[in-house]
């Protein structure tokens, strides 16, 4: 398990073999930088597979209409709501997120 801290607020992202931008053993392209927040434990994880391996419960999706942050940019540490994340890039550093993550959207958001 790796816990890496991002941004000025030092927000943690948890996962297996997390790279410097939030990539993990499961997803490791240049755009796999979004840490997703589990609604149950309220921690950011590199992916649902890392979460399910490292915690004693399955990843619980965040509500799409939640006003609290649901995504952590692994490039700069900016926390984003679902609506902000859906713009496709970090609002702070403009790093693009992987558009193919839409395939798993129901795992992360409800």
Q: What are phi and psi of 93, to 5 degrees?
A: -105, -5
The whole-number average pLDDT for the span 50-75 is 94
Distances (CA, A) of 10 to 7, 13, 97: 5, 10, 20
Two tokens at 11? 């927000």
pLDDT interval class at 28 (50, 70, 90): confident
pLDDT interval class at 44 (50, 70, 90): very high
Res 1: pLDDT = 72
Q: Are 34 and 71 in contact (CB under 8 A)?
A: yes
Strand ranges for 17-95 from DSSP E: 34-37, 44-45, 71-73, 79-80
Q: Which domain holds residue 57?
A: 2-108
Give the number of domains in the chain: 1
pTM to 2 decimal places: 0.92
């Amino acid at each position: 398990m790796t816990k890496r801290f991002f941004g000025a607020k030092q927000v943690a992202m948890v996962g297996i073999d997390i790279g410097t931008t939030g990539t993990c053993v499961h997803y490791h392209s240049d755009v796999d930088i979004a840490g997703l927040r589990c609604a149950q434990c309220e921690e950011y994880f590199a992916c649902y597979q890392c979460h399910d391996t490292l915690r004693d419960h399955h990843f619980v999706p965040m509500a799409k209409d939640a006003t609290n942050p649901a995504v952590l940019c692994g490039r700069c540490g900016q926390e984003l709501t679902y609506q902000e994340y859906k713009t496709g890039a970090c609002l702070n550093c403009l790093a693009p997120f992987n558009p193919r993550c839409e395939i798993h959207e129901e795992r992360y958001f409800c």
